[in-house]
Amino acid sequence: MLDLDKVGEMRQFSTVNGTAKQVRTDLVNMILTQLVSKRGDDAVREKEHWKVVVSRAVTVLNEDKKGPWFDRIVMPNSSNYSTEEIAEDETLRHRRIVRATSFMQALKPIEAYLAEFDASPSDSLEERANRLATVVNEFWKAVRAKMPECFKEADNYVIQKTPGVFSLHMLCRELLKGMYQGRRPWTQEHFEAMIADISTLSRPDFWHKGDDDKGIGAGEASKYGSMKGFKELFELIEDSR
């Protein structure tokens, strides 16, 4: 540190050492993404490329005004809407309901699959991110078409919260495999055909978080709250075909 005497350096070291906190994962990913934007893909290590890809993809999904994820993700530079803001605009209650950290992590298996089976070594990280965002967007549009009420009042359901994000991204990855083998394009129309017989994706009650004031019980999906639970929820969804 510049312009500090020895005592000042020791005091600053004590402060940093005693109060430092870990930086949020989503913020780290965004910083890596900005670094790549300014200095190119080689500015970060190859094993961290996926972080840049999912970070960019989340931004694209969150900014798509016609997509299922428009303003549903709490980005690193934003926060949940306040009680006052919701009181002025009730629609904000159903916005910013899942953190970017969770969404990015849930995208990792899909990104890994696309990187292995649908990518060229010459693809830039931006191209990989746009492809990931497009595929995920088409998948979620298909889910929204089956249960539009879950998306109109998203805060009342867990389908766009961590249980739904993790379990359905696991499902999406499995669908991609079958569609690739069957030469089906990864579009909303074909995703709809693939999930047509999944009963848990036709039952909004399965995804309801519950409302005691209205006498609505919590749905089965809301009972899963850990990574192990999200995998079990994915398996339950698959078994409901």
Over residues 132-188, the pLDDT tens digits come to 999 999 999 999 999 999 999 999 999 999 999 999 999 999 999 999 999 999 999
**Inter-axis angle of helices 162-181 and 227-239, nearest 10:** 50
Mean pLDDT of the chain: 93
Q: Is the pLDDT of residue 95 over 70?
A: yes
CA distances from 94 to 71, 81, 86, 205, 208 (A): 9, 10, 9, 17, 13
Residue 23 pLDDT exceeds 80: no
Residue 93 to residue 165: CA distance in whole angstroms: 18
Mean pLDDT confidence for 196-205 = 97
Provide the pLDDT for residue 1.
63
